[in-house]
Structure 1
Amino acid sequence: MNISTTDLIVFLVYMFGTLIFGCSFYFRNKSSNTFTSGDGNMPAWVVGMSIFATFVSSISFLALPGSAYAKNWNGFVFSLSIPIAAYLAVKFFVPLYREVNSPSAYTFLEKRFGPWARIYASLCYMLTQVARMGSIMFLLALPINALFGWNIYLIIIVTGACVLLYSMLGGITAVIWTDAIQGIVLIAGALICAIILLYSMPEGPMQTYQIAKQYDKLSLGGFNLDFSKSTFWVILIYGLFINVQNFGIDQSYVQRYMTTGSLKKAKFSTWFGSLLYIPVSMLFFIIGTALFAYYHVYPDLLPATLKASGMGDRVFPYFIAHGLPKGVTGLLIAAIFAAGMSSISTSLNSSATVILTDYYERYFQKNASNKKSMRVLYLSTFTMGILGVLAALAMTQVKNALDAWWGLSSVFSGGMLGLFLLGYFSKKVKNVDAAIGVSLGCLAICWVSLSPVYFTNGIWISFKSTLNTNLAIVIGTIIIFLTGFLSYSIFNRQK
């Protein structure tokens, strides 16, 4: 354990300052509209940095280097799909939601297909956010555990409590401003780590490339059409569907479209935040590859337990704790921790907004007073925070947090995109057609995701899916979309 007084002081001062900064926005939250949309007057560049930080969080900062260390650059293909998704967002989705003018992303679905569609999508979203918060809090606990030796379960619980406090008090304004500041710090921290790693090699930075090439660490995955493995095409297709879903139906992104003062500013924020993620994610993969080369040259510096565990997620936190200069270590971990807190608070704020607008105001009290609305927002934030902590505690049992997060997000959110695309691109498909499509799509998602786990013997083994589980969202979306059109065509023809 490489603890120093300097690291501890830097970490505590930085974290305390971030927490106070986030909580200070409490005095601006005079209404539920301020809490959920910042009154629609946030600076465009700040919202763009917030979109970027929503992409990054600790999932990218720790899991992407872990994936590059343990495997290769296959995960970077996910980033290559972002420009296509961003173009679709700017062309179609941002104008749509600005026109609908609702804090909820799922108001549009109710207008197209009725209340059931709104409930289905919002429930899927909140389940996805619970999984996301669990992944982030778990990854945040790793470097803190490596540096200070604190109990990993205690770190998760304390993290959850801190995020709850600042999310409940600060609202969306605190979330966005904190995201922006921490995004800048995270980029600087990643650059420092990459430079130190590359120039720590005995023969210079080129040695990292030579070792990586020798061990095939720079591969983007196979280019064959084997959809049972994580090939280049599987990750590209998966990334395209997930990112279109992010921009098109994810409350965390849609809510940000409403925080700027105009459509033009909202489009700028979307382009800025999404395109910035591509070079930064590349930097994370460089770090992971450099870690592999570094510990290949200096194998005695990596504990045998980490070598044998196969948990690449834990290697980068170990390097941060033992391979960086004192002071820099504390600052970098504080930046990771604060950025993770910002991402968690995004999930908490957006989930609370969904509960208020899609459930409380829709089914319990349409014209609720501001006092009651704020009470619902506070209680919803608290409940989602507790669920996120429980998910993080469960996440301690997985080997690769990135794979776990991708798998869970495919299962929970697989049907949302198909329903949204069906409603957006078809003006004739009816309620019943969409319901049939979603039913079949959900069955397909469960088959792709769960059959490899449960259909392992007996007669059921014949029904086991051979597709990569990341394709669950792809299969589900296609089936929902095509089934909806087919159902409409059949019933319309009969009439």
Structure 2
Amino acid sequence: MNIIDWIVLFGTLILIVGYGVYKTYGPKDMESYLKGNNDMNWWTIGLSIMATQASAITFLSTPGQAYEDGMRFVQFYFGLPIAMIIISAFFLPIYYKLKIYTAYEYLEGRFDLKTRTLAALLFLVQRGLGAGITIYAPAIILSTLLGWNLTWTNIFIGVLVIIYTVSGGTKAVSITQRQQMVVMMGGMVLAGLLVIQLLPVKFTEALHVAGKMERLNIVNFDFDLSDRYNFWSGITGALFLFLSYFGTDQSQVQRYLTGKSLNQSRMGLIMNGFLKVPMQFVILFIGVMVFVFYQFFQPPVFFNSVQTEKLLDSDYREEFHGLEAEFKEKFEEKNAQIFAMVDAIESGNEEEVISLRAQINQQAADQEAIRTQVKELIVKNDPLAETRDTDYVFMRFVMDFLPKGVVGLLFAVIFSAAMSSTASELNALGSTCTIDIYKRSIKKEESSKHYMISSKWFTAIWGGIAIIFATYASLFENLIQAVNLLGSLFYGVILGIFIVGFFLKRIGGTAVFTAALITEAIILLIHWHNGSELFGINIDIGFLWYNPIGCLLVMLIAGLIQLFRGMLSKS
């Protein structure tokens, strides 16, 4: 990056953090710190909810996923509008009626203290780990692209977030997220327009190329439990995930509990429900356009340039050069065939299109085989090297082809997204520790100011824990899948507890507490054996199905335990 990009990057970040501190500095009590005096309007709530979910992983990993796998990931969000309507109708009125600070306060009144504490601890575990991932995921890629030390990149992101989150609390998070969403979506839309402008063919022709190469595969109605992303997993498994995430995860609940009224919070949720799907569609579509771009301009044989530079300095240099030359030859052959296919599409020669498409697919397979050999060389040179490079696709394109200033803006997008999600998570972790653990079970009778200061300390401590976890974490198969997987291991159980509380009035605290522990053990056991056998049964399911399985098992097991306890009491 040049000086203009650095000015844009740091100028944007300093303005956002400075604005957040300036507008919200100095809350005097717990009410203002944790709930922002309940003065947020619906569109600020909606943008804050969207920014909380739209982490840096969204902007780094999603375009790369579309590059590799097409548009089908958008199906993951099909259940989101339904979830927002259900939460607005059933969850929100209860939360507002009880005037709670955290979602888990409800559980003590409905069940007992141990159930409230269990749900809070499950949240703290999964969200604490999640906060580490939301820092680490962009840090490892940004440190690679910018040539920064990974540990210092983790610290830089984490400390920026801690400054304004600890300073201004919930209101600071919401206000800064409003600015961050403008930067994030403005930057991504600009990147999308620029990639389309850089294409050597018309936009309609680019769509034809993407379609023929199976990158516009938006909806798949085939029912397959092992398929992570299809229509059915989107409106069932993902629906349960979103119900739990937006309805019971304090990082989201805290966003809409700051609303001026129940209606303002409802409108914010509905706004998120109906804008999130188009937003994800746009980000995925940008990834598809980057894929089309690289059909006309030669892509790197491996997108993580740090690993290829290591190869060039190793004993495998000559072998790598040979693979690069072979990769270039295959690209040139495929490139000529793609131009020929565009001409055949324009002339309506379907037979020629089918023939060329088969040849192009074969060339693409040959290119992928060469990439596999390069990955094998990378591992030979460094056994600990990460060989999955799809998370580097988008930002490598940005750095190589976009103009000065825009590169800095896109890096600001990634940093802003990392900060927005992490801020919500730390704010929620501090609130939950204060309200559900510290205030309820440790220091029960202290002043409002004392609990505000405690919340600041807990927020800062969780920030430190997240930075430490980020420093010692390692890449998952795909960053965005890592976050959804981590949530799916816990969200189903937490949602099940709340669903029992809302709708199954005869089930008591002991039954649901026991059922939650049993179910969480089952989910972890299923995940551990997913892809193999468990008690002689072949387990092969997409992780999104953990959410409905966990929720339904809590309901079923709790019902059976309550029934059994009732029978014993009568006998």
Q: Match for 1:433 among 511, 522, 529?
A: 511
State the Cα deviation string for residues 62-116 of structure 1 (Å, max 9, x = none): 2211211121223211211111001101111111100111111101111122111
Code of the residue aligned with 1:338 in structure 2: it is S
User: 1:378 aligns to what?
Assistant: 456
Cα distance in 1 for residues equivalent to 2:553 and 2:493: 9
In the alignment, which residue of structure 2 is the partner of 1:246? 245
> Quick one: which amino acid aligns to residue 91 of structure 1?
A
CA distance in 2, matches of 1:278, 1:138: 25
Question: Under a length normalisation based on structure 2, what TM-score does the superposition of the two structures give?
Answer: 0.81
Distance 1:288 1:475 in 2: 32
CA gap of 1:395–1:401, structure 2 versus 1, over 3 A, is farther
Is 1:98–1:257's contact at 8 Å kept on the other side of the alignment?
no
Residue of structure 1 in register with 2:254 after alignment: 255
Q: Specify which of 32, 43, 46 is matched with residue 44 of structure 2.
A: 46
Q: Could you tell me whether the CA contact under 8 Å between 1:25 and 1:171 is conserved in 2?
A: no
SS of residue paired to 2:222: coil
Alignment of 1:12-91 (within 5 A): 12-25=10-23, 27-91=25-89
Listed one character per residue, the Cα deviations across residues 289-322 of structure 1 (whole Å, up to 9, x for unaligned) are: 1111111221245656576533211111212222
Q: 1:66–1:312: 8 Å Cα contact kept in structure 2?
A: yes
Alpha-carbon distance, 1:221 to partner:
6.4
Matched, 1:406 2:480: no
Partner of 2:359: none
266-275 or 369-378, which deviates more: 369-378
Q: Which moved more, 1:21-30 or 1:94-103?
A: 21-30
Q: SS state of the match for residue 260, structure 2?
A: coil
Offset at residue 124 of structure 1 (A): 1.4
Task: Tell me the distance in 1 between the aligned counterparts of 2:520 and 2:410.
Answer: 41
Separation in structure 2 between the aligned mates of residue 427 and residue 254 of structure 1, nearest angstrom: 23
Tell me how far apart the structure 2 counterparts of residues 367 and 436 of structure 1 sit (CA, whole Å): 30
Q: How does 1:2-401 map to 2 (within 5 A)?
A: 3-25=1-23, 27-141=25-139, 144-145=142-143, 147-220=145-218, 222-232=220-230, 233-300=232-299, 303=302, 305=304, 308=375, 309-401=387-479
Q: Does 1:478 align with 2:478?
A: no
- Stretch moving more, 76-85 or 302-311: 302-311
- Quote the Cα distance in structure 2 between the aligned partners of 1:132 and 1:195: 32
Distance 1:391 1:210, change over 3 A: farther
Deviation at 1:164, TM superposition (A): 1.4
Q: Would you say the 8 A contact 2:187–2:410 is kept in 1?
A: yes
Tell me which structure has the larger Cα radius of gyration: 2
1:488 counterpart = 2:562: yes
* Alpha-carbon distance in 2 for matches of 1:231, 1:144: 28
Query: SS of the counterpart of 1:261?
Result: coil
Following the alignment from structure 2 to structure 1, what is the Cα–Cα distance between the partners of residues 529 and 452? Answer: 43
**How much does 1:257 deviate?**
2.7
Q: What is the CA-CA distance between 1:26 and the residue it aligns to?
A: 5.2
Shift, 1:253, TM fit: 2.1
Count residues in correspondence. Answer: 489
Q: Give 2:539's aligned amino acid.
A: S
TM-score (norm. length: structure 1): 0.93
Identify which of 447, 459, 467 aligns with 2:541: 467
Q: Which moved more, 1:169-178 or 1:328-337?
A: 328-337
Mapped to 1, the partners of 2:440 and 2:497 lie a distance apart of 21
Deviation digits for residues 327-374 of structure 1, max 9, x if unmatched?
111122113312321221111111101111101110122231234213
CA RMSD of aligned residues (A): 2.1
Change (3 A) 1:148 1:59: closer
State the shift of 1:178 in Å.
0.6
Please give the secondary structure, in 1, of the residue aligned with 2:62: helix
1: CA distance between counterparts of 2:303 and 2:253?
Answer: 45
Q: Distance in 2 between matches of 1:472 and 1:363?
A: 31
Q: Percent identity?
A: 27
Is contact 1:143-1:318 (8 Å) kept? Answer: no
1:351 maps to amino acid: L
Q: CA deviation at 1:125?
A: 1.2
- 1:402-454 Cα deviation digits (max 9, x unpaired): 1211111111333100111011001111123212321331122112211237x
Contact 1:143 1:333 (C-alpha < 8 Å) held by counterparts: no
The aligned amino acid for 1:478 is L
Alpha-carbon distance in 1 for matches of 2:256, 2:303: 48
Taking a change above 3 Å as real, the CA distance of residues 184 and 100 of structure 1, as seen in their structure-2 partners, is same
Distance 1:182 1:320 in 2: 19
Aligned equivalents of 1:147, 1:21: Cα separation in 2: 28
Question: Measured at CA, do residues 226 and 28 of structure 1 come closer, stay the same or move farther in structure 2, by a change above 3 Å?
Answer: same
CA distance in 1, matches of 2:229, 2:442: 48
One-letter code of the match for 1:469?
F
- Following superposition, the deviation at residue 57 of structure 1 comes to 2.2
Question: CA contact under 8 A between 2:529 and 2:539: conserved in structure 1?
Answer: yes
> 1 CA distance for matches of 2:143 and 2:209?
30
Task: Specify whether residues 107 and 304 from structure 1 end up closer, same or farther in structure 2 by C-alpha distance, changes over 3 A only.
Answer: closer
| CA distance, structure 1, for counterparts of residue 227 and residue 145 of structure 2 | 36
Separation (CA, whole Å) in 1 of partners of 2:280 and 2:489: 24
Secondary structure of the corresponding residue to residue 466 of structure 1? coil
Query: 1:97, 1:254 within 8 Å by CA — same for their partners in 2?
Result: no
**SS of match in other structure, 1:16:** helix
Instruction: Give the residue type in structure 2 aligned to 1:346.
Output: S
